[in-house]
Amino acid sequence: MDYNITVEKLGKAAYDLICGAKEPPTVHSVFTNAINLKYQEDYIITILPQNHSCGTQTIILSEATFKILRSSRLQAGESFEMDLKEWAKEDYVIDLTIPDKLYLNNELSITNNIKCCLDEMKCSSNQDGLASCLFGRENIYTKLLSTKLSQIDLHIIEQDESKLSDKLCSILGLGPGLTPSGDDFIYGVLSVLFYYNRLSGKSSDWLSLAAARISNAARNLTTVISYNMLRSCINGEFSEYIKNLLIGILYGNNVEPLLKKVLQIGSSSGADIAAGILYCLKILMIKEE
Amino acid sequence: MSSKCLIKKNSYYDSVTLMIITKEVEAVAGVENAVVVMGTEHNKELLDNVGLLNEETTAASPNDLIIAVKMKNDNIFEQIVQKVDELLNKKKTEAGEDYCPPTLDSAVKFMPDSNLVIISLPGQYAAAEAKKALLKDKHVLLFSDNVSIEQEKELKELAVERGLLMMGPDCGTACINNVPLAFANAVKSGCIAVVGASGTGTQEIMVQIDKFNGGISQAIGTGGRDLKAEIGGLMMIQAIKALAQDENTKVIVLVSKPPALEVAEKVLKVLKETGKKAVVDFIGGDEQLVLKYGFLPAATLEEAAYKAVQLCSKTYEEVLNSTAPDFTDSIELVDNMAKAEAQKLKPNQKYLRGLYSGGTLCDEALKLFTKEIGEIYSNIPLEPEYKLPENTTGYKNCAIDLGDDEYTVGRPHPMIDSYARQQMILKQAEDQEMAVLLMDIVLGYGSNDDPAGSLFNEIKRAKSEFEARGQYLCVVAGICGTENDPQDYAEQVRKLKEAGVIVMSSNAQAVRFAIKVLKEVAACQR
């Protein structure tokens, strides 16, 4: 196929995978706004159009290019023949690592930002998954969540990687969605812990261990797409909208538009990730108090 | 209370789809609870908690989709399965191609703001679907035939009652707000509206308007029986009333086979009330009646187009006595071409054989030929005595409408599939008395991608057979198409000429040319 490809952004893991690939990927699944490519056994790279969040394993194309690509009627299992190496230019790789030269807001500002996010979520988020746990609303998924996550605050405070990962693993694959709500929630929790620890100058080694344990468990406990999402946590890299929201909450003051971007992810995924973020931040703020 | 589940193995649907499925299933009457999740261990635990775990769900893998439903009575489960399939199909096709809703209801749900439904179903189902669409306040284009005249009347009365258009049954052409529907050509937009009880008649008028540098505001098909006494022109009248409200329409062209007198009067009266200028081509019908109402009659489709374009900028009086030129090329050039063709023919070659894909174009050929030469046989004859004898493929002078039911049973219309005409060309070539083979080549949306190319080999073979007998075959084709049609007009002309075909830019011109050749032949014989 001879297309003029315009790559807008590229995650680091996607770049490494494409450049190091010995065999072309196959098509894993094709959705309205996403094309998933499978590398080797279980690496997934997701191709998305503009206005979607770029994660470590994603490629963002211009809207027009994505439409052309999608109109080629790719089918699951087909080998992907386009010259991805040609697309994967280092210039497009965006930095998803945690910045280290910022100064945290004081606790009051962070608490205010959390409150602002909660208010926004209460009005406009999809609460079919775990997000309703923030507001004391029950559904069949949140009923399980409270029992599964009991005492998780202690494990976070104690930085007990083994107990924390066990707790979080107990909600792997739980709930609705292609990336089940529980996985999105975990992604949110881990993103906060990585940012908060690293930026507070604390060691993140225990956290990397916890993330690796969760990621390993995810291989058998959830969908392959979800597993790939969690796999990127091990290096403490999260998608750009998550990064922006966290920076907004921890350093900024105008969080509403940043949260709205996160809420746009998937159907309930954005809300579940945000729920994980706010749930964990509340624990950390209580701890600081 | 009972529970059942549906497993979709290795199925990946985006979260939005899964959410929609959950909501839609929960909305089905009698459903207590629906859980749509991937088959992960923790989701199975959850299903167990809510009493929805069974052998099937236990066996699911994390990459399988589980749709588990708790319902009052399990006889609604089939309905749920159907609903889920419909939704999954919809999302699947959205991802790779246009969504094809499986039912009218799902189509309307998918596009609630739609206001027109095109129906192409076997006749026995078509009327019921058309009625459903009208009851949903949608205009209808009913492509299907084999709908009884009683059903047609009922549908059209319902449409009139609800202020809707019911185009058809057997309506193959329309262009609404510059959107071509079914068989239609890519024409310029403008101020002329065509209301036609004839598909190719409407197409030919639209094409000729385009060639005379006019443009189309609307083209509304009514179906071929609309002006019969039983239907009373219900839809032609409805269409005229709609056009009266259409600010973009300045001139209206009506095209139809001659209607029943009382219907014609009714239609013309409504047309008069619009206050808009009009040309009426009741093909071969009563011109005086048209003149009585102050409109312009037309002898051919091309002339109707010509007069309509003239009327856009002139008065009735100025246009009344003007006629379209007989040929686009100069008459001397055409005479010379006809003489040259006639001279190549042998004395025993005297007959015209018309092989048409468009019924109205065939009908126009019959009328022009009858007027100039005389008797001509057909499967759609002007008079019953000229009905083509059964089991014959050619008889004396004849023109055959290959789109008529007898030739289309079990195969697509000849405007789409050239097979019937290819076979017929070869059959006709066996007849040593044939002098001129006359055809229409209809371009536009919906038609064959390459009609000229699809007939190229058969035309060459037919000509070769005549040559092998020491004869010559004159082949004439009228092209109904514009330069903007998807088939590439210039390329179609080139292919026809390469096959040795005399190409004319309208059906009327093609027929006139064929007549000229035959008259030359007759003159030579005298």
HEC per residue, B30-85:
CEEEEEEEECCHHHHHHHHHCCCCCHHHHHCCCCCEEEEEEECCHHHHHHHHHHHH
Chain A residues inside the 8 Å CB shell of B95: 30-32, 70
**End residue of a domain, out of B99, B130, B162:** B99
Whether residue B91 and residue A32 make contact (CB cut-off 8 A), yes or no, is yes
pLDDT at A183: 96
Chain A nearest C-alpha distance from B17 (Å): 8
- Kindly identify which residue of chain B lies nearest to residue A220, measuring between CA atoms: B62
Residue B352 lies in a domain: yes
Considering B69, B99, B129, which residue would you say is the last residue of a domain? B99
Q: List C-alpha distances in Å: B312 to A271, B178, B253, B309.
A: 61, 18, 12, 5
Count of structural domains, chain A: 2
Q: Which of A124-138, B153-167, B259-273, B508-522 bottoms out in mean pLDDT, i.e. has the lowest?
A: A124-138
**Cα–Cα distance list, B5 to A108, B8, B91 (Å):** 49, 10, 21
Number of domains comprising chain B: 2
Q: Are A72 and A128 part of one and the same domain? A: no
Q: Is B413 helix (H, G, I), strand (E, B) or coil?
A: coil
Q: Is B222 a domain residue?
A: no
Last residue of a domain, one of B78, B99, B120: B99
Question: Looking at per-residue confidence, does A100 or A252 come out higher?
Answer: A252
Query: A122 and A258 share a domain?
Result: yes
In angstroms, what CA-CA distances link B121 with A82, A156, B143?
41, 65, 8
Partners of residue A176 in chain B, C-beta under 8 Å: 15, 18-19, 22, 35-37
pLDDT of A105 over the 80 cut = no
Do residue A166 and residue A205 come from a single domain?
A: yes
Give the CATH number, domain containing residue B492. 3.40.50.261
Say yes or no: A200 and A255 in one domain: yes
**For residue A281, pLDDT beyond 90:** yes
pLDDT of residue A100: 74
Does the pLDDT of residue B101 top 80, yes or no?
Answer: no
Q: Give per-residue pLDDT as tens, B236-251.
A: 999 999 999 999 999 9
- Which residue is associated with the tokens 């030359």? B520
Give pLDDT, residue A68: 73
List of residues 6+ apart from B499 with CB closer than 8 A: B452, B455, B456, B459, B460, B463, B475
Instruction: Name residue B407's amino acid.
Output: Y
Tell whether B226 is covered by a domain: no
- Chain B: give the shortest CA distance to residue A191, in Å: 21
* CA distance from start to end of chain B: 94
Claim to verify: residue A258 and residue A130 sit in the same structural domain: yes
What is the average pLDDT score of chain A? Answer: 88
In a domain, A97, yes or no: no
Q: Does position B379 have pLDDT exceeding 90, yes or no?
A: yes
Question: What is the residue range of A12's domain?
Answer: 7-92
Nearest alpha-carbon partner for B438 in B349, B365, B339: B365
Q: Which of B40, B46, B50 sits opposite A222 (nearest CB)?
A: B40
A36 CB neighbours in chain B (<8 A) are 12
Which runs of consecutive H residues, i.e. helices, occur in A222-268? 224-231, 240-251, 256-263
ipTM for this model: 0.86
Residues near A202 by beta carbon (within 8 Å), at least 6 away in sequence: none
Q: Cβ of B42 and A177 within 8 Å?
A: no
In Å, how far are A226, A229, A259, B485 from A275, measured between CA atoms?
A: 17, 17, 11, 55
Where is average pLDDT lowest: A138-152, B318-332, B358-372? A138-152
**Confidence tier at B30 by pLDDT (50, 70, 90):** confident
Please report, for residues A79, A84, A88, A240, B521, the alpha-carbon distance to residue A11 in angstroms, rounded to integers and kept in the order given: 22, 14, 10, 9, 79
- Selected residues 74-93 of chain B with any CB under 8 Å from a CB in chain A: 91
pLDDT attached to residue B96: 43
Q: Does the beta-carbon distance from A32 to B18 stay under 8 Å?
A: no
Type of residue numbered A238: F
Tell which wins on pLDDT, B139 or B522.
Answer: B139
- Give contacts of A175 with chain B, Cβ < 8 Å: 37, 43, 46
Task: Using alpha carbons only, give the angle B231, B233, B236 rounded to the nearest 5 degrees.
Answer: 140
pLDDT confidence bin for B307, thresholds 50/70/90: very high
Q: In this structure, are A135 and A71 located in the same domain?
A: no
Residue among B18, B45, B96 whose CB faces A267 most closely: B18
Q: Same structural domain for residues A59 and A117?
A: no
Check residue B100 and give its pLDDT.
55
Reported confidence tier of residue B15, pLDDT bands at 50, 70, 90: confident
Q: Which residue among A141, A174, A178 sits closest to B14, beta carbon to beta carbon?
A: A178
Residue B394 lies in a domain: yes
Q: Is residue A101 a part of any domain in this protein?
A: no
A245 in Cβ contact with A274 (< 8 Å): yes
Same domain, A84 and A118: no
Q: Is pLDDT above 90 for A147? A: no
Mean pLDDT of B315-325: 89
**Which positions in chain B touch A174 (Cβ < 8 Å)?**
40, 42-43, 46
CA dist., res. B478 & res. B381, Å (int): 20
Mean pLDDT is lowest, of B210-219, B412-421, B487-496, for B412-421
Nearest residue in chain B measured CA to CA from A219:
B62
- Chain A closest-CA separation from residue B146 CA (Å): 37
> Where a domain ends, among A92, A120, A137?
A92
How far apart, in whole angstroms, are the C-alpha atoms of residue A239 and residue A60? 12
Distance from CA of B3 to the nearest CA of A (A): 16
pLDDT at A1: 39
Distance from CA of B453 to the nearest CA of A (A): 28
Residues B197 and B359: their CA atoms lie apart, in Å, by 11
**DSSP states of A87-114 as a string?**
H--GGGB---SPPSS--PPPHHHHHHHH
Decide if pLDDT at B98 tops 60. no
Q: What is the pLDDT of residue B410?
A: 63
Residues of A with CB under 8 A from a CB of B: 28-34, 36, 70-71, 73-76, 126, 128, 140-141, 143-144, 170-180, 182, 220-225, 266-269
Exposure string over B165-195, b if 16+ CB within 10 A, otherwise e: bbbbbbbbbbbbeeebbbbbbbbbebbbbbb
Q: Quick one: what percent of chain A has pLDDT higher than 70?
A: 97
Interchain pair B15, A268: CB under 8 A: yes
**pLDDT score, position B91:** 53
Rounded Cα gap, residues A198 and B392, in angstroms: 91
Res. A2 pLDDT band, cuts 50 70 90: very low
Q: Which of A277, A274, A266, A243 is closest to A52 using CA atoms?
A: A266
**Tens digit of each residue's pLDDT (9 = 90 or more) over B465-481:** 999 999 999 999 999 99
Do the domain assignments include residue B17?
A: yes
Partner residue facing A29 (CB), from B12, B19, B37: B12
Q: Would you say B442 and B451 are in contact if contact means Cβ atoms under 8 Å apart?
A: yes
Q: What does the pLDDT look like over B129-140, one tens digit per residue?
A: 999 999 999 999
- Residue B239 within any structural domain of the chain: no
Q: What is the pLDDT of residue A4?
A: 60
The total number of residues shown for chain A amounts to: 289
The CATH number given to whatever domain includes residue B24 is: 3.30.70
Q: Which residues pair with residue B136 across a beta bridge?
A: none
Higher pLDDT, A58 or A101: A58
Residue reference for tokens 């036609």: B196
How confident is the model at residue A10, as a pLDDT?
94
The domain containing residue B13 runs over which residues?
2-99
Matching residue, tokens 């945690």: A98
User: Is residue A2, in this structure, part of any structural domain at all?
Assistant: no
Task: Give A170's contacts in chain B (Cβ within 8 Å).
Answer: 42
Mean pLDDT of chain B: 91
On whether both A259 and A173 belong to a single domain, the answer is yes
Contact (CB, 8 A) for B419 and B411: yes
Nearest chain A residue to B50, by CA: A140
Q: Beta strands B116-119 and B2-8: pairing type?
A: unpaired
Same-domain pairing of A119 and A242: yes
Q: Residue B183's pLDDT band (boundaries 50, 70, 90)?
A: very high
B95 vs A31, A173, A175: nearest CB: A31
Assigned domain for B421 exists: yes
The pLDDT of residue B97 = 46
Instruction: Please tell me which residue, B159 or A284, carries the higher pLDDT value.
Output: B159
Q: Is the pLDDT of residue A173 over 60?
A: yes
By C-alpha distance, which of B50, B82, B71 is closest to B4? B71
Task: Report if residue B9 sits inside a domain.
Answer: yes
Chains A, B: CB contacts within 8 A come to 108
Is residue A1 situated within a structural domain? no
Q: Do A268 and B14 touch (CB under 8 A)?
A: no
All residues of chain A having their beta carbon less than 8 Å from the beta carbon of residue B15 are 176-179, 266-269
pLDDT band of residue B409 (cuts 50, 70, 90) is low
Alpha-carbon gap, residue A227 to A214, rounded angstroms: 9
Higher pLDDT, B14 or B383: B383
Sheet holding B501-504, edge to edge: B377-378, B398-401, B351-356, B434-442, B474-480, B501-504
Contacts of B35 in chain A (CB under 8 A): 140, 176
Tell me the pLDDT band of B149, cut-offs 50, 70 and 90. very high
**Chain B nearest C-alpha distance from A283 (Å):** 25
With a cut of 70, say whether residue A60 has pLDDT above it.
yes
